Structure 1
Amino acid sequence: MVEADTGRWPGRTVVRDASALALAVAAYGVSYGTLATGSGLAIWQTQALSLLMYSGASQFGLVGVLRAGGTGGTAAVTAVPLGSRNLFYSFGPTPSLRGAG
């Protein structure tokens, strides 16, 4: 969509939208970091989970189980199905991507 020539910088809309998204992601990150470190994870472990786990639901599930007193194995058993559900989301667009090169 092309913006009308109003004399303003055309990237203003992009910056506004990106700022709103950044604010939401920052709130999510602060929430996760607070819960994870409050559950007894070291800061490096919290950061490693963010790097290695794709799904935010998996991260919160793992941290929730640890915070409730569960073991690492129980937390992993909870987190894996939450993360693996993303695999099934990939089946939807697959037919439309065939032949796309």
Structure 2
Amino acid sequence: MKLEQQLLGHLSKLEPIHLELINESSSHGGYYPGKESHFKVIIVSDVFKGIRAVKRHQLVYTHVQHLLMAGGGSIHALALHTYSLEEWDGHVPTSPECAHAPKVQ
């Protein structure tokens, strides 16, 4: 099963109202077609209500740690944007440029 589907499956345990997973691997060095190493997650869930950002991220990590390189998996980077329903304004944050991204000529 692709990492993207595995991530979505584990993140769905947080009962998201909105869940968006963007594979940003092509924007980073060493990219090849099909690579799954860098992801951006936008997740809106009532479980985040009243919880600070660090605790939200820790909660997400409990569900996906085994997919991250530090946990023995293949995901190098996971950008988390976590919101309660009251905080969500529909905006998807932009990602910074990678210094080692393949240069388009």
State the TM bucket, normalised to the shorter chain.
Answer: under 0.3
Structure (1 or 2) with the greater helix fraction: 1
TM-score (norm 1): 0.27
Structure (1 or 2) with the greater strand fraction: 2
Ranked by relative contact order (alpha carbons within 8 Å, sequence separation 6 or more), the top structure is 2
Larger Rg: 1 or 2? 1
